[in-house]
Amino acid sequence: MGCAPSIHVSQSGVIYCRDSDESNSPRQTTSVSQGPAAPLHGLFVQTDAADAIPPSRASGPPSAARVRRARAELGSGSSAGSAAPAATTCRGRRRHCCSSAEAETQTSYTSVKVSSAEVRIGPMRLTQDPIQVLLIFAKEDSQSDGFWWACDRAGYRCNIARTPESALECFLDKHHEIIVIDHRQTRNFDAEAVCRSIRATNPSEHTVILAVVSQASDDHEEASVLPLLHAGFNRRFMENSSIIACYNELIQIEHGEVRSQFKLRACNSVFTALDHCHEAIEITSDDHVIQIHKVHRDSGDNSQTEPHSFRYKNRRKESIDVKSISSRGSDAPSLQNRRYPSMARIHSMTIEAPITKVINIINAAQENSPVTVAEALDRVLEILRTTELYSPQLGTKEEDPHTSDLVGGLMTDGLRRLSGNEYVFTKNVHQSHSHLAMPITINDVPPCVAQLLDNEESWDFNIFELEAVTHKRPLVYLGLKVFSRFGVCEFLNCSESTLRAWLQVIEANYHSSNAYHNSTHAADVLHATAFFLGKERVKGSLDQLDEVAALIAATVHDVDHPGRTNSFLCNAGSELAVLYNDTAVLESHHTALAFQLTVKDTKCNIFKNIDRNHYRTLRQAIIDMVLATEMTKHFEHVNKFVNSINKPMAAEIEGSDCECNPIGKNFPENQILIKRMMIKCADVANPCRPLDLCIEWAGRISEEYFAQTDEEKRQGLPVVMPVFDRNTCSIPKSQISFIDYFITDMFDAWDAFAHLPALMQHLADNYKHWKTLDDLKCKSLRLPSDS
């Protein structure tokens, strides 16, 4: 009786299904070969049954004397006078044609019953078929017989080719791991020319070629191996017909070069699979902490830069089982257009993230590998640890603006000087993510997260608790809840999975290394925006398109913020400052990148199903709101709001007994001013939060400003905010100045429109807290009695 079939990857490059029954008979499947020189086999059946081996070869079995010597040396225990005929005694010597030149190529199937072996590489389990060996000898002699019987003893499958043409044809068909070429005589064929012709094919990249050379006479100096190496040989074997000597040589090759090439092909296969993978890709450490997010390459994208779609498999539902192949060539252009030989099946492992398996394989492959292979794998790991796998190809592009003098500081430790005043910000690999499952829907979130989100409509919602339970990924969870409450998916006509993918892409492009401008700040601004949209006057002044635009703008308004202000970027002569002409540098970058990330991959394109006119209107609203967060135009925005909204509304209310919405508030110009004021207040609402949250935000923004000042002094740049020196700065005094100059008037105007008594009470209490600390000459965040 048969069990469920399993996928098997043969050593010869054939993938087939095998039923797990006693017959162990594989099914026919389409083979997958690699390299342009590899033939397309069509359908191929793999079998170990002895009856499938053709019963004879053109040149006949070996001589009886050689059989007796081989049996004695192999210690088989059978006497030379066995009654069995030679063809039966030499079952391992049965050969059949593997090319059109039947008399020139013979094949041996080992007399030792050997099945595919399971090789462990770290946590990986790879299925390895018996090694295939090609002997290229013009004539049969004791040396060729020595290797023949050595292959039989080792359980290898062996072919013998008599001519260069048949050898090349046989190799292209079988893709042998080891090739032994007779280099002792040159009158039959040029061994070095044969080696070069084989090396010219793609499958030979992972093949070890051995040269059999004659013993040097006592009166001649031993020849150099350089000519052999230049011809493409890997090893040299001094003529020795002893089966044990041949056996030892083959075993050393198997456990040395062949095993290393096997591991390297496994790495290549996983990278090929990841390149065509449409599932979630994460690189994690052994304790499942995410190291790198891998971007998916959309086959429909003609761009050479990597798309920015970050998809996560739902770990709560199932683990991701990577079934891949170990390609014998590393230059595979497309799995869809060509077939590639393979030799191993990668089974599912305990660690769920597929790209984590890549790291494990590479680390395991480095053990006992040749120096060149180990160095190559070091370079692979170095590339994986960069941000290009999961961030846009920005090169020397940098940060984003948020607050000009007192609102625009931020910290990053990825700054390095290139030449002159040019700087590059490199995002650090996020180390803080854990194995928390990403939700498929808003109903599929961990209970601890769901319990916190039940209170998200309250102004006192604690965003730092959400940051902690989501391991610094609060934006996806809060975004799903808020966007669902406002019907964003319905308005955009997109699925919740598309929205989830988009939120994941956006959050992945926030720098978790920033103390302030990270995805927690984005989630906080999103929460404040949603809270403001729930107020009656705001709700009555905006339509649904405005609401959706506001929520999206709040989500992306600081994406890829590097932790430095606009002034710093302009002083440093950064590429972003040059690109945007020193004007709203970071805000322009945020909006541009947000739309690039969104439209790059259809799986996260939340705009793909809306008509062109709605998209243009929505896009313009989002851009306008994000650009409004630039602090250099702070007073302009506030004054326009007061003159166009507050004063007409006050005059109308004074002339009426009811507090109905003022006439003219729904004019497009006024709607723009309301949206600008709303996101500006949401962006800097920290002083209006409950005291504990206000203190935490004050500490975070101060640390960013301290870091910028440190960097400016280190690089000899103008110090934009000298007051933010970590050795002398008074945080209470800086908060008082910030509230006095930027917050009080703006929130007075916003409160007069939206009616926010709770926020204004928090603002008064927090201001009193900072004044008390300042009066006590205390530079810390809390009173000594509160510590």
Active centre residues (catalytic): 517
Interatomic CA distance for residues 617 and 610, integer angstroms? 11
- Which two structure tokens, joined as six digits, stand for 26? 């594989």
Burial class (CB within 10 angstroms; exposed 0-12, middle 13-18, buried 19+) of 385: middle
- Which two structure tokens, joined as six digits, stand for 749? 């105007």
- Which two structure tokens, joined as six digits, stand for 46? 């793999």
Backbone angles phi, psi at 241, to 5 degrees: -80, 0
Helix segments in 462-518, DSSP class H? 463-469, 474-485, 488-492, 496-508
CA atoms 68, 70, 74, 76: torsion sign: negative
683 is in an annotated binding site: yes
CA distance to 7, 225, 238, 249, 373, per residue, from 235 (Å): 35, 9, 10, 10, 17
255 is in an annotated binding site: no
Interatomic CA distance for residues 549 and 526, integer angstroms? 12
Residue located via tokens 């891998």: 294
518 is in an annotated binding site: yes
Residue located via tokens 């398996």: 357
643 is in an annotated binding site: no
Decide if 731 contacts 776 (C-beta within 8 A).
no
19 is in an annotated binding site: no
Give the pairing type, strands 208-213 and 235-238: parallel
What SS3 class is residue 565? coil
735 is in an annotated binding site: yes
519 is in an annotated binding site: yes
Interatomic CA distance for residues 516 and 684, integer angstroms? 12
Decide if 682 contacts 697 (C-beta within 8 A).
no
Residue type, 427: K
Interatomic CA distance for residues 12 and 7, integer angstroms? 15
517 is in an annotated binding site: yes
539, 759, 553: which is closest to 671 by C-alpha?
539
Decide if 548 contacts 618 (C-beta within 8 A).
yes
Interatomic CA distance for residues 206 and 111, integer angstroms? 27
Ordered DSSP codes for 682-742:
HHT-GGGS-HHHHHHHHHHHHHHHHHHHHHHHHHT---S-TT--TTT--HHHHHHHHIIII
The β-bridge partners of 237 are 212
Ordered DSSP codes for 346-367:
PPP-SS--HHHHHHHHHHHHHT
Interatomic CA distance for residues 144 and 243, integer angstroms? 10
Interatomic CA distance for residues 672 and 644, integer angstroms? 11
Decide if 322 contacts 280 (C-beta within 8 A).
no
HSE-CB of 320 using CA atoms within 13 angstroms = 24
Residue 514: how many CB atoms within 10 A of its CB?
28
**Nearest 5°: CA angle at 129, between 258 and 101?**
85
387 is in an annotated binding site: no
Interatomic CA distance for residues 499 and 488, integer angstroms? 9
723, 762, 87: which is closest to 406 by C-alpha?
723
Residue located via tokens 């990841």: 274
Sequence ranges of the binding site for Zn(2+): 521, 557-558, 683
Sequence ranges of the binding site: 517-521, 557-558, 683, 735
Sequence ranges of the binding site for AMP: 517-521, 558, 683, 735
